[in-house]
Structure 1
């Protein structure tokens, strides 16, 4: 119990102070803060957790010095509009969410140093766009029923994982992917297939990763299916670190792939 209490204190501190950006005050306009766009369009399965996820990310922004715009409107994908943002998060998106012109805009945005954050079904998005698949790291294949499993920290040297326990037990919808991203990304977390049923990726089943891609930074977590995830301190710490990395609000980069 003492260890659990200590861990909660550490995570609480991380959620309020881990950003290098200044914490906003009541007298500072959010427009003067670095901003991210949270994009939530769905053209397949629609996650009922989207409102809770948006609210949680906005609260992370308020506590850590970045502004958050959230929208499901693809018309925001113009060169001028995306230039306002340090990163774009595809939050629980599904299906074909951008047309050809919007895809070209987003690709230019990444090539000019923009950041990408993908959450859960961001990998269940834009199957016909190979560049996007490389950005995310892998496309979703299938998943077993929602169940408890053990997440293992693959690399504890990074800020993105420093606050997490070596073995992190939680409940989620555990994705299998069409291909193994491991050769092309730096794996942050794996899920232990021995602790649940339905995993098909093997002993080192990747579940969160990062990589520098095509001029920008990309970070992806396959977790975050249910609304309850967005009230979990450890998951929010995990998500926050991904946002800070992708938006270059912390100096730590992503190491090369481990293989």
Structure 2
């Protein structure tokens, strides 16, 4: 009897240890990412006379697999409809001075974690500051990137957490009344989405962001449960930004916080926002 109890104890202990290791690995990957880098420069045959878009979908942190695939479908469809050249990859060797200069805009399609070497970061920041454009989606705004320049100049804020109780919640985001008349003709007045709503530590307007969409953050349950903090039961208040743009010297960045689920990319109004943002940041419209 004692022998069987000992065996059961070993099995249970092993399962608990494996569970703890898995949770530890998961949390490390979410917060720190697994920094794998690529430096080999790809061979790209650019199409002359067409808008060139780099669709980058690398995930060294949390992998939003279904949403990444949905984003690829949306942007490939846009490229077909608008006769763009689109180069899609999850390898960062393309982030070099010579090839970046040939792209009208770059999309970070749920990019997470530390994905660029220091040299690639320098080339990318120079590209943006000298007239390039970036459209970042959802995980492109989380805390796994560990790049202060990116937080200061691309996001204009830092990620705090997202709700977990429940994780996905229905909410309405509204186009800001301050949007100019042309923007109001191009974009829907509001979007109803069931999303994982990112909560940020600061209002990006404090860093010069132009907020396009916001929601009443008091209408969601912001409670999260991450790392050593048992409860993160706070949000951004009545003004909760969701979509905004930032000037990056001569370039421009556009960030869209929704985009956790594949279903969001199937929302026609959401796709309009993505198209607007991509046009806004592109060198050629």
Q: Give the TM interval when normalised to the shorter protein.
A: 0.7 to 0.9
Contact 1:93 1:125 (8 Å CA) reproduced = no
**How far off its partner does 1:30 sit?**
4.7
Deviation per CA, 1:103-137: give whole Å up to 9, x if none. 01101111221111111110126643211112122
Task: Give the Cα–Cα distance (whole angstroms) in 1 for the partners of residues 255 and 122 of structure 2.
Answer: 21
| Separation in 1, partners of 2:156, 2:258 | 15
- Deviation, 1:196, is 2.0
Who is 2:244 aligned against? 209
Scaled by the length of structure 2, what TM-score is found? 0.73
Q: Deviations along 1:232-252, whole A, 9 cap, x unmatched?
A: 1100000000000000444xx
Cα distance in 1 between the residues matched to 2:51 and 2:187: 26
Corresponding residue number in structure 1 for 2:78: 60
1:117-166 Cα deviation digits (max 9, x unpaired): 11111012664321111212223221111110011111442545534443
Change (3 A) 1:247 1:194: same
User: Quick check: 211-220 or 100-109, which moved more?
Assistant: 211-220
Gaps of 5+ in 1: 1-28, 251-259
Alignment correspondent of 2:171: 149
Note if 1:47 corresponds to 2:64. yes
**How many angstroms apart in 2 are the aligned matches of 1:53 and 1:189?**
20
Superposed displacement of residue 31, structure 1? 4.5
Structure 1 pair 146–160 and aligned structure 2 pair: CA distance change class (3 A)? farther
How far, CA to CA, are the matches of 2:218 and 2:54 in structure 1? 37
Can you list the C-alpha shifts for 1:202-221, whole angstroms capped at 9, x where unaligned? 11111100121122011111
Contact 1:121 1:140 in 2 (8 A): no
Partner SS state of residue 205, structure 2: coil
In structure 2, the CA distance between the partners of 1:228 and 1:30, relative to structure 1 (3 Å rule), is: farther
**Equivalent residue runs for 1:157-236 within 5 Å:** 157=180, 159-183=182-206, 184-198=208-222, 200-236=235-271
Which has the higher mean CA deviation after the structures are superposed, 134-143 or 157-166?
A: 157-166
Deviation larger for 35-44 or 238-247: 35-44
Distance 1:90 1:161, change over 3 A: farther
Could you tell me which runs of 5 or more consecutive residues in structure 2 were left unpaired when the two chains were aligned: 1-45, 223-233
Runs of 4+ that moved beyond 4 A: 158-161
Distance 1:30 1:224 in 2: 29
Which one of the candidate residues 87, 90, 94 is aligned to 2:112? 94
User: Is the 1:93–1:124 contact (alpha carbons within 8 Å) kept by the matching residues of 2?
Assistant: no
1:139 corresponds to: 158
| Residue pair 2:188, 2:269 contacting (<8 A) in 1 also | no
1:28-74 superposed Cα distances (whole Å, 9 cap, x missing partner):
x9553111101111111000211111111111122123221111101
Query: Which structure: larger Rg?
Result: 2
Identify which range, 126-135 or 211-220, moves more after superposition.
126-135
Distance 1:31 1:54, change over 3 A: farther
